[in-house]
Amino acid sequence: MKTIKNLKIFLLACMAGALTITGCTKEEQSSSKASNSPVANKLDPERASGNTVLTLTGSGLGDMTSIVFEKGNVPASFNPTLNTDNALIFRVPDTANGGAQNIILTNRLGVQLKVPFNVVALPLVNTASNYNFIEGTEITLVGNNLEDVTSITLDGAAAEASIVSQSKKELVIKMPATTVNSAKLILTNSTGPITTNQVFVNLDKAYKIFTDDYGNGFENGSWGPASISTDFAKSGTKSFKAGYNKGNWSADGFANWNGVASMPEYNYLSFWVKGASADYTLYVTGDARAGGYGNSDRSVPIIVPANVWTYFKIPMTTLELWKKGPMKQLGFWIEGPEKQDESFYFDDVILVK
């Protein structure tokens, strides 16, 4: 065992370079010979996720030419110079399909060796098409290992989303009815469950400033040209189109002239905004903030990329919308624009618990 351990340490030290070679020149080939009867004694570990280094020890393992993970015939890259008669080191492919399967190794004589292995491939969610929902909203989750997801539940609730379509990298779900304010999602596949980092907000439980229309007594309170628009929408069919004329340094947004008293139960201001023709910085402004309403307050900048929808979720402790009393105005001002008139589209402007 000590000899095998030392061999493993030596071979791992040889892996300073990336294991990206699937073939080799004559000079790079291992000096070990292909065997008519290769034997696998131990695979370490026997269960692992993508990119994990595996060490196979045994006899007659020399001169391997390919390594394939059986589910989906996914090839594994390896460096032939790390292949000896008694050991072979390689990585689990990032693209390997999850679950129990064989690793099929083939040597230069065409002889195959099958080694049982279990690929750990938990679902992974990198991005979502929306973070706000009502019952029936379809949301696209993008990530990995999503093709065998069998259930999606809201963390902390019994509600379960239904699957509309799925592939390895993409999962489309339909959100359920629920009474929760917001929740992460629990996705379960053949490997097991994971809880998303992303938090999804129930619009029916949010305080609405603008969704498909003005809410809670708010109206257009803009300095520049602004209106409800059907040109673009992130949710529903309408958004709030905020126009900024060249060189005006104006503030567009929403007003409730009766005033909104402090609501400490809400923790975030969130909204989607579709960018203009170039990247711009907008500044969140409010009449009851310490800096007042308009273009003197630069304390909460947001960078809005051009031509795409971007989601913002800002803590109320950062905004202090009620610093000086009831809030009557909430908006976004711009320095400029300098080159031309610009328009931004805002949707789902809400306060979230």
pLDDT digits (tens, 9 = 90+) for 90-131: 999 988 988 899 999 999 999 999 999 999 999 999 999 999
Q: Are residues 240 and 337 in the same domain?
A: yes
Single residue among 69, 86, 120 that ends a domain in this structure: 120
Same domain (yes/no): 114, 128: no
Domain that holds residue 49: 2-120
Q: Are strands 64-69 and 74-75 parallel, antiparallel or unpaired?
A: antiparallel
Beta bridge partners of 145: none
Clarify whether residues 193 and 230 are in a common domain: no
pLDDT in tens, 144-154: 999 999 999 99
- Do 251 and 279 belong together in one domain? yes
Q: Of 158, 182, 201, which residue constitutes the final position of a domain?
A: 201
Q: How many domains does the chain have?
A: 3
Pairing mode, if any, of strands 132-133 and 200-202? parallel
Same domain, 53 and 152: no
> Which of 201, 216, 232 delimits the end of a domain?
201
- pLDDT band, residue 15 (cuts 50/70/90): very low
Please tell me whether residues 227 and 326 are part of one structural domain.
Answer: yes
Q: How far is CA 27 from the centre of its chain?
A: 44
CB neighbour list of residue 58: distance below 8 Å, 6 or more residues apart: 38, 39, 40, 41, 42, 86, 87
CATH code at position 178: 2.60.40.10
Flag whether pLDDT at 21 surpasses 50.
no
Residue 350: enclosing H or E segment and its boundaries?
A: strand 342-352
145 and 216 part of one domain: no
Fill in the amino acid letter for 289: R
Q: Are residues 99 and 12 in the same domain?
A: yes
What's the average model confidence in pLDDT over 3-23? Answer: 45
- Give yes or no: residues 157 and 265 share one domain: no
Same domain, 176 and 231: no
Arithmetic mean of pLDDT, 175-193: 96
CA–CA dist 300, 122 (Å, integer): 37
Q: Do residues 129 and 52 both lie within one domain?
A: no
User: In this model, does residue 281 exceed pLDDT 80?
Assistant: yes
Question: What is the Cα gyration radius of the chain?
Answer: 28
Residues 61 and 190 in one domain: no
pLDDT confidence band for 166 (50 / 70 / 90): very high
